[in-house]
Amino acid sequence: MKKTIIIKTGDTFPDIIKACGDFEEMIASGLRISRDKLRVVNVTAHEALPDIDQINGVVISGSHAMVTQELDWSLALEAWIRKLISAGIPLLGICFGHQLIAKALGGVVDYHPRGIEIGTTDVTCLAECANDPLFKDLPPSFKAHVIHSQSVIQLPPSAVLLAKNEFEPHHGFRIGTAAWGVQFHPEADVAVTRGYIENLSEDVLSSGQDPGQLIDHLEETPHASLLLKTFGEIVMHP
């Protein structure tokens, strides 16, 4: 039986794991695919990437690593991404995964010139979302949780831009018919995002933001969370 693969590209902070689970558990919950049809591959532990003919969809998680580090497992994942897209296998990259898809297809990733974007933010859908299989049911603007210092500075030539906000011009894009990247975190909730603000408080302060104020403005993000459920449906009912 073909499985949906969650590519684990690192671990979240220990206190968040204890309270909310790790990246792969958050993603699995959001996909709403039965666990027997899911498989987690931990590439940071150098677990082998599965053959293309064994899978029906892939989600690449966020990471505390940086795409620009070009770690060995990250470079191997880039080559595999190109194979997935050529084969038309549904693919969703979240944060680090979003950036890695862009880099694999010729985009540019680097540190955002304004520092860290973190907390609950507004994301705007562009006109191209109307006919996009993943974004079509989202409202023109929606709330999303964000936690990132690096960004896709330049999209790949083949990318269709789908979503943005004032801070981040490339919050969502599509490559071909079945590969997407989202800079925001559809798997995260208020508890997870609060945990990141607390763990990264020094970085938040150094970027000129108030951690307490960011925490006060956190809110749940049901529309952003819908993306994972929709992606699960795309995978299971192509």
Per annotation, catalytic residue among 145, 148, 171, 185: 185
- Is 98 known to be catalytic? no
Q: With helix as H, strand as E and coil as C, how does 176-236 read? A: CCCEEEECCCCCCCHHHHHHHHHHCHHHHHHCCCCHHHHHHCCCCCHHHHHHHHHHHHHHH
Q: Could you give the C-alpha distances from 63 to 9, 11, 44, 162, 192, in angstroms and in order? A: 5, 7, 10, 23, 14
Q: Give the 3-state secondary structure of residue 99.
A: helix
- Is 187 known to be catalytic? yes
Query: What is the rounded CA–CA span in Å between residue 185 and residue 202?
Result: 21
Per annotation, catalytic residue among 46, 125, 187, 198: 187
Per annotation, catalytic residue among 24, 95, 125, 170: 95
What amino acid positions are annotated as catalytic residues? 95, 185, 187
